[in-house]
Amino acid sequence: MIKNIFIGEKVRLLAMNPEIDGKLMSEWRRDTEYARLLDSDPVRLWSGNQMKDWFENKQKNEAFEEINFMIYPLESEEPIGFIELDGIAWHHRTSWVGIGIGNRDYWGQGYGSDAMRILSRYAFDELGLYRLNLNVFSNNTRAIQAYENVGFKVEGAIRDALHRDNQRWDLVFMGLLEEDFRHQT
């Protein structure tokens, strides 16, 4: 029997429902620490309808260049975050990856790493991609460690790219090649 490719050791990935998940994601963005770790843009509040409209517009305008999932712990029916492949370049077999664990109760416990492993396996085994890219700010050490646990390697940085709270942080670029992922699993 073939194992479900969307289920890991701690989480499962399900398709995003903009109507329902947009409201939840707008609630997560009220946590300014989460919003600041997620994005370099100034924190702003989104209504559930704004988030829903944003996702629906992205889905309409993408030519299968983006795939979004919600992250669910195996023991719960409530999503704890999202994960996505964004900017898939089929001719290069590459994509950018984004992830956010919006429910703080699940931070630092391996749920994000498990979701990233599932997404990487899907990208390499099902979609035939060869390389995944991401960027993360250097102050987000928990995320950097989680990415390294999956096999991502630091490939460079833009020094002092982020300015928050009178401090500057580097924008760190990380990549995962299919062969590196295979050696990790």
Rounded CA-CA distance 9/150 in Å is 13
Helix axes 111-121, 141-150, angle to 10 degrees: 40
Whether the predicted pLDDT of 98 surpasses 90: yes
Q: How confident is the model at residue 49 (pLDDT cuts 50, 70, 90)?
A: confident
Strand pairing of 94-101 and 131-137?
parallel
Mean pLDDT along residues 177-181: 96
Q: Are 177 and 168 in contact (CB under 8 A)?
A: no
Q: Measured between alpha carbons, how far is 130 from 92 in angstroms, rounded to an integer?
A: 8
Residue 129: pLDDT band (50, 70, 90) is very high
From 9-13, 61-65, 70-74, 109-113, the region with the lowest mean pLDDT: 61-65
Confirm if 64 and 88 have CB atoms less than 8 A apart: yes
Mean predicted confidence (pLDDT) in 139-159: 95
Residue 18 CA from chain centroid, whole number: 17
In this model, does residue 61 exceed pLDDT 80? no
Instruction: Kindly report the average pLDDT of the chain as a whole number.
Output: 91
pLDDT for 90 beyond 90: yes
**pLDDT score at 1:** 47
* Burial environment of residue 114 by CB neighbours within 10 A (0 to 12, 13 to 18, 19 or more): buried
Q: Which domains does the chain have, with CATH numbers?
A: 11-130 (3.40.630.30)
C-alpha span between 98 and 112 (Å, rounded): 11
Question: Do the beta carbons of residue 157 and residue 170 sit within 8 Å?
Answer: yes
| Of 17-26, 106-115, 135-144, minimum mean pLDDT range | 17-26
